[in-house]
Structure 1
Amino acid sequence: MKAKRWFTTAASLVLAGSLIAGCTTTGGKTETSTSGNEQGSATTQGNKKAAVVNTYINGEIPTIDPNIAKDSYSSWVIDHTFEGLFVNDKDGVKPGQAKEVQVSEDGLTYTFTLKDGLKWSNGDPVTAADFEFSWKRVLDPATAAEYAYQIADYVKGAKEYNSADPKKLSADEIKKLRDAVGVQAKDDKTLVVTLKAPTPYFKQLTAFYTYYPVPKKVVEANPNWAADASTYVGNGPFKLQEWQKDKVITVVKNDNYYNKSTITTDKIVWNNITDDNTAWQMFQNGELNYIKSVPPAGIDAAKASGELKISPQLATYFYRFNTTKPPFNNVKIRKALAMAIDRQAIIDTITKGGQKPAFAIVGPGIAAQDGKNKEFRDETPAYFKEDIAEAQKLLKEGLAELGMTSMPKVTITFNTNAGHQKIAQAIQEMWKKNLGFESTIENVESKVWLARQSALDFQIMRAGWVGDYLDPMTYIDMWVTGGTNNNTGYSNPEYDKLVAASKVEKDMAKRDQILHDAEKILINDMPFMPIYFYTNADASKKELEGIYVPANRYPQFRYVTVK
């Protein structure tokens, strides 16, 4: 989720999703289905223990507006207060707000029918017009949504509207482009979406938070609706009760949610704790009952107590290079640094969560596109290898090409986190030992970290990516020229052509090969240094049950019960 999707914790991270069974129609065939302040885990409500999740985030949540959110912590809250046409439930991607969807034979037109009785948390009805308004708000150039490409790349006419320049076009011309976007509410319950090319994973995309609806009436009346609990309106299983900026955010069960009888959780509290070790101490003391990503110092204790929960995750930990400035405008230098570290040592001594060394960008957990019943990653496990002698050779050649005799001192920047710091220190020492140059490290708060990535204000930046959906494209298209999540300055026209070709290729075996060819180019250019593929290494108090973690999402708390 990403989606997106940015990482802000140490040993693992995830994005979004949840809920119920539904119906799907493909090629005319229809399938239908049925539709804080507390410490520790609970207080008593009569004979029932209140199901309260008390957890934390490390850093300020920038926004809980699904149209403009771009980071994992924001989406963690949004995924509980909003819901899309489809959702990532504990059993996989299923209809959420959609009752059914019919897909045309050519795969270009999706007709979504909404469930009966859908309501916003303020009691207003959720309509197809809210979805149309929301998607076009994302695309509106004035919104400047960094995830707009998630809609613009797929929906007919969306890119033209999103890329329009209001300074060069009249209001009528902008309106014409907006009206031409292939999203139309036919009536209150019918949303028709026209794609520019068949997209096998489009239903998965509608489960991503950029595709969530927002309340048209509320947003038009108050542009700052998402900044305060008193004006915040969602359509998910929980509603916002409290948001003290930089302190705590609390949601409670939403009585207007259409399927509220399945929601067993009473309250979720996210505390803002900027020291992961302090959070771990609070967990041990019972002040928190769930930890997203146990800090390295707590892994062994969590294992011993039986509270550590390790699960697969579609996510990659890596370092970005700023390819626009020396010395990282030289590919040989970038390759040298990537080849001169020991990934397994980092996993064995720091993260300790069963992660796998990464020698590519697309993480494990995505099926191959050619129907051969295996994973995409298994077809080409690695595109390079660790090789200190070759790294030394490449570094020397790269410096000579730049007219340098030695490596200048460079800085590794990371968002404040004990795990990120330990990894940076380890890599710093590996580069010193294996390549003979000094580097410095700096930690910045998450909000600054995000802003500096977008501004290319760094030399080497710690990063991570959670897949927004289960297709290799969730990793591949972020590196195209000018991509809003590229954040390295990288550009390769041949790569861009392959990405574009893969989006319209109908032969899945050919598409599979195109995606592998694109990834090979990307890794050969090395605008980033892959380090490891994540796992979830979380901790949960034993009395909590019902938490599930989709491979490409943060933990989901819809169905929590307390023993």
Structure 2
Amino acid sequence: MKRQKKRIGFVGLTLAACLILTSCGGGGAASSAAPSSGAPASSAAATDVVKSDELAAKSKYAGTPDADMITINTVSEPTTLNTMLAYDTGSSSILREIVSGLFKLDKSDKPIPDLIESYEVSDDKLTYTFKLKQGPKWSNGEPVTSKDYVFGWTTAMKKETAANYAFILYDNIKGGKDYFDGKIKEDQLGIKAPDDYTLSITFVRPIPYALHLFTFTAYMPLNQKAYESIGADNYAKEADKVVTNGAYKVSEWKHNDHVTLAKNEDYWDKDKIGIPKIKYVMLSDANATLNAFKAGQLDFMTVGKDHIKLLKAEGQPIARYIETGPWYFQYNTTKKPFNNAKVRQAFGLSVDLDSYVNDVLADGSIKADGVVPPGVAGANGKDYAEARGSIQPKFDPAKAKSLLAEGLKEAGVSAAGFKPVFTCSNTTSGQKDAAFFQEQWKKNLGVSVELKPLDNKARFEAMQSQNFELLMAGWTPDYNDPMTFLDLFMTNNGNNNGKYSSKTYDDLVTKAMNEADPEKRQNILIEAEKLLVQTDTAVFPIYYRAINYTTSQKFTGGTYTPFQGWPGDYHDGTKLTKK
């Protein structure tokens, strides 16, 4: 059974700076940045940052001239605004503003009720029963009811919908897998709507991160009347073909240029919306982005290495957080010689990650010590990564060269005929990252690697169709639990783009899913992660990205956190300033 999942994130997204889900070459952000985690920043740029709420007061730039609108750079076109089909950070960040569900995340990334009055959990922790708010409306005027959740979830779980995140529903909801396979009817699912404002969902096992799941796009409601009248093929592809119920409505969508949102006056918590309009523009070049910010055409942007010193020299404040999502080398394990673990190990061990983080990135990013980053919840209220420790293989060019020779021989590939291609981002930062890796492989392995730069959309398509050999990918979390990173690499996960397949790994992750004891569950996941990284090297962790960003004087109160990452959240108390 195919399990479809995000790259983002990181959430999914995605998981590149604008489409972190499956990006490469250091991400697509125009300035090498995009959101997440609680790890301490290090390296050359780790000092002189300010708190987010200090940016507006200290900013040197007044911002855009529109009195009631802020302009945010989201780098590239969202792949979709359909909650069932979204899989990248860029899409999810906009959907967070326009669609509301059972729960949302507060400014501390804690799940809090959104469109519900109350909820109860059964003693066996399998069934959640919600009493919905009466009053919230869709933008077509219809009330938001329990039927909208049932329709959204059941439609996403149909094979013909081809939802990337169908698995996050059918793997968890009672009867979900059988429904996905066409073995049972809807009324046999663990989803019930006894009346318009009562909803219950029964899971196949207790899920410790269930409330986080309810904040995720795949668990959002969907208006049946709108979806069916517009048609599945056209839904959410234009501004006038998407129906929303969140803090904002989509007022304009000029593809590959901008998306404009307008305040939803029917939103249940509209008094907290302090920004009447938000315009998301799509600038992928770092220099063009900086010039637009200085010219008063942007109010928020991420800041990369080349511009950190420049902005600080003129007194422009910069804030930062560390992304709760790894960046890693992704290998296509279906293509020789990357079907050989020794070859995969060689390409990771031959790259000096300290030099990459400190000299190439130089923006506060930190070297990865595993796939699951710091800041992700572990057993008994502690950090998972702290319990695991570092499992990152150390830089060892001599060992890498030896492994490569052995691996090529085992794979039946001659060294002379080995001409690998590194698929990378076509952005400014992506090209610099790719050039560094190319030089490292030539110097330490004696291998000439061809670079293949692609834009975000083409890169995603290449990943999903396995039309690559080697690239750098990123992943943002869908919820606060290590499972959001580790189930990604199960054989049948739809976002397992490298097609890694290990029965041992699958069995370990499945065992963890069914383990109720938090400590035992964590130990099983650690064992699985060590297999993934150290033994099989299905992926090679590289770094956890620092997101450096700055704003104009025009607004304050935006939320920029590990689980509500770049380009931020703006409907929970964000306000225009009075300058």
TM-score, normalised via structure 1 length: 0.89
Residue equivalent to 1:550: 561
Residue equivalent to 2:268: 258
Deviation at 1:402, TM superposition (A): 2.1
After superposition, what is the alpha-carbon deviation per residue over 1:318-372, rounded to whole angstroms, capped at 9, x for unaligned?
Answer: 1210000111011001001111111121222232221111131111101222x26
**Contact 2:424/2:452 (<8 A) preserved:** yes
Residue equivalent to 1:561: 575
SS at match of 1:462: strand
Q: Taking CA–CA contacts closer than 8 Å with sequence separation of 6 or more, which of the two structures ends up with the larger relative contact order?
A: 2
Residue equivalent to 1:229: 239
Q: CA separation in 1, counterparts of 2:189 and 2:89?
A: 28
* Worse overlay, 2-11 or 144-153: 2-11
Amino acid at match of 2:539: F
Residue equivalent to 1:530: 541
Q: 2:171 aligns with which of 140, 144, 153?
A: 153
**Contact 2:508/2:524 (<8 A) preserved:** yes
After superposition, what is the alpha-carbon deviation per residue over 1:211-257, rounded to whole angstroms, capped at 9, x for unaligned?
Answer: 11111111122212312222321111000000111111100110010
Residue equivalent to 1:344: 354
Residue equivalent to 2:34: 13
Q: CA separation in 2, counterparts of 1:143 and 1:310?
A: 38
SS at match of 2:240: coil
Residue equivalent to 1:270: 280
Residue equivalent to 1:40: 63
Q: Does 1:183 align with 2:191?
A: yes
The 5 Å alignment of 1:242-391 reads 242-291=252-301, 293-304=302-313, 305-369=315-379, 371=380, 373-391=382-400
Residue equivalent to 1:90: 107
After superposition, what is the alpha-carbon deviation per residue over 1:460-500, rounded to whole angstroms, capped at 9, x for unaligned?
Answer: 12210001111000100010002111100110001101111
After superposition, what is the alpha-carbon deviation per residue over 1:301-324, rounded to whole angstroms, capped at 9, x for unaligned?
Answer: 234433322013211111210000
**Contact 1:64/1:74 (<8 A) preserved:** yes
Amino acid at match of 1:86: F
Q: Does 1:65 align with 2:82?
A: yes
Amino acid at match of 1:380: G
Q: Does 1:198 align with 2:206?
A: yes
The 5 Å alignment of 1:380-529 reads 380-406=389-415, 408-523=418-533, 524-529=535-540
For residues 58 and 217 of structure 1, do their structure 2 counterparts lie closer, same or farther at Cα, with a shift above 3 Å needed? same
Q: How many residues align?
A: 523
Deviation at 1:552, TM superposition (A): 2.0
Q: CA separation in 2, counterparts of 1:201 and 1:130?
A: 23
Instruction: Quote the sequence identity (%).
Output: 32
**Contact 1:183/1:191 (<8 A) preserved:** yes
Residue equivalent to 2:23: none
* Worse overlay, 548-557 or 125-134: 548-557
Amino acid at match of 1:79: R
Q: 1:81 aligns with which of 74, 95, 98?
A: 98
Deviation at 1:193, TM superposition (A): 0.2
Residue equivalent to 2:5: none
**Contact 1:150/1:210 (<8 A) preserved:** yes
Deviation at 1:42, TM superposition (A): 4.9
Amino acid at match of 1:388: P
Gap runs ≥5 in structure 2: 1-7, 18-26, 37-61
For residues 383 and 545 of structure 1, do their structure 2 counterparts lie closer, same or farther at Cα, with a shift above 3 Å needed? same
SS at match of 1:199: coil
Alignment RMSD: 1.9
Gap runs ≥5 in structure 1: 16-38, 45-49, 165-172
SS at match of 2:330: strand
Q: CA separation in 1, counterparts of 2:304 and 2:392?
A: 30
Amino acid at match of 2:224: K
After superposition, what is the alpha-carbon deviation per residue over 1:3-57, rounded to whole angstroms, capped at 9, x for unaligned?
Answer: 2222432433348xxxxxxxxxxxxxxxxxxxxxxx934544xxxxx3x221223
The 5 Å alignment of 1:74-153 reads 74-91=91-108, 92-153=110-171
Amino acid at match of 2:208: P
Amino acid at match of 2:186: R
**Contact 1:362/1:377 (<8 A) preserved:** no
Deviating 4+ runs (over 6 angstroms): none
SS at match of 1:225: coil
Residue equivalent to 2:22: none
SS at match of 1:412: strand
Amino acid at match of 1:548: T
For residues 179 and 432 of structure 1, do their structure 2 counterparts lie closer, same or farther at Cα, with a shift above 3 Å needed? same
Q: CA separation in 1, counterparts of 2:414 and 2:240?
A: 60
Q: Does 1:238 align with 2:253?
A: no
Q: CA separation in 2, counterparts of 1:232 and 1:119?
A: 14
Q: CA separation in 1, counterparts of 2:432 and 2:209?
A: 37
**Contact 2:35/2:546 (<8 A) preserved:** no
Deviation at 1:377, TM superposition (A): 4.1
Q: CA separation in 1, counterparts of 2:322 and 2:412?
A: 45
For residues 374 and 451 of structure 1, do their structure 2 counterparts lie closer, same or farther at Cα, with a shift above 3 Å needed? closer
